Amino acid sequence: MTPDVRPHEKLDRAVIFLGPPGAGKGTQAKELARRFSVPHLSTGDMLREHVAQGTSLGQRAQPIMARGDLVSDSIVLRMVADRIERPDCARGFVFDGFPRTVAQAQWLGALLRQHGFKPPLVIHMVIDPGLLLRRITGRRMCKVGGEIYNIYERPPKVAGHCDNDGGELEQRADDREEIVGPRLAAYEKQTAPLAAYYRRLGRLRDIDASKSVDEVAKLIVEVVSAARQP
Ligand code: AP5
């Protein structure tokens, strides 16, 4: 992957990954967060953790996620507000899967201003829709550390186990082929309009997400570094 960050490099802002299911947001957001030593905030991962732990929030979210719809703002916004107040977010953070509606984006803009952050940088993952089904149905995630694999594109060294910690790999409940259509429809209707919203604000940067993982990572680092120039 990309070379390690130099010690003086700081992110100092929120970076948002925007793109359809399977575009590679999680793969790239984790890598960028690691590079700048800031938290990777995936609302999907947070919700899946609540579901796995059987919390009341998880019980409300589970049927909604299982059919590929968006979870309500009342659930998601509280979760995000609590998370970015933690001290580890003070030097910036990387959002993956949030915001997902214009209302969420407006709410986030106000929250970032309130916490004294610069306006966010939005990485728009642009991809040929024909690639998405294979990426989604081929995805497997480590039960222990959440590392993302793909049985077609990025297989682990030992089938069914994570290269990092040996954890068992599992398929997400919403990655079944019959749920992919509803998820893509929810994206087109509720989330795709965010691209125009952030483009108008001058915050959007288009990235060709059809390329290899390493090529996409390199493009993202270039865009983020350029945005950090004075
Ligand atoms: P969430 O977990 O956010 O899922 P998503 O947006 O549907 O995105 P995915 O995780 O499916 O894809 P990705 O773009 O991260 O791709 P990845 O890097 O894994 O949300 C799940 C659900 O939670 C939602 O449906 C909703 O119900 C709820 N939710 C979450 N946030 C919400 C919010 N803010 N508001 C309301 N509801 C919310 O890559 C995919 C695969 O491709 C992997 O196998 C990977 O190895 C492979 N891959 C990645 N990049 C490449 C590449 N360049 N070349 C080849 N293969 C690649």
Ligand 1: centre distance to CA 8 (Å): 31
**pLDDT given for residue 149 in this prediction:** 96
Which residue's C-alpha comes closest to atom 49 of ligand 1? Answer: 24
Q: Active-site positions? A: 25, 100, 139, 172, 183
Strand-pairing partners, residue 169, are: 142
**Token couple for 92:** 């910036």
Domain ranges for the chain: 13-38+91-129+183-227
Q: Please state the atom number of ligand 1 nearest to the C-alpha of residue 17.
A: 14
* Contact call for residues 16 and 120 (beta carbons, < 8 A): yes
Residue 10 has pLDDT above 90, yes or no: no
Residue 213 has pLDDT above 70, yes or no: yes
Pocket mutation for ligand 1, best pick of 154, 164, 170, 171 (most atoms within 8 Å of C-beta): 154
List, for residues 145-165, the tens digit of each pLDDT value: 999 999 999 999 999 999 999
Region 94-113: mean pLDDT is: 96
Stated pTM of the model: 0.94
Query: CATH class for domain 13-38+91-129+183-227?
Result: alpha beta
Region 50-57: mean pLDDT is: 95
Q: Which has the higher per-residue pLDDT, 229 or 94?
A: 94
Confidence of residue 12 (pLDDT cuts 50, 70, 90): confident
Pocket mutation for ligand 1, best pick of 34, 42, 135 (most atoms within 8 Å of C-beta): 135
Region 131-139: mean pLDDT is: 95
Confidence of residue 217 (pLDDT cuts 50, 70, 90): very high
Please write down the HEC assignment for all residues of 39-88.
CEEEHHHHHHHHHHHCCHHHHHHHHHHHCCCCCCHHHHHHHHHHHHCCHH
Whether residue 99 has a cis bond before it, omega within 30° of 0? yes
**pLDDT given for residue 5 in this prediction:** 52
Q: Is 145 exposed, middle or buried (0-12, 13-18, 19+ CB in 10 A)?
A: exposed
Region 175-180: mean pLDDT is: 94
* Contact call for residues 97 and 25 (beta carbons, < 8 A): yes
Q: Is 200 exposed, middle or buried (0-12, 13-18, 19+ CB in 10 A)?
A: exposed
* Contact call for residues 216 and 209 (beta carbons, < 8 A): yes
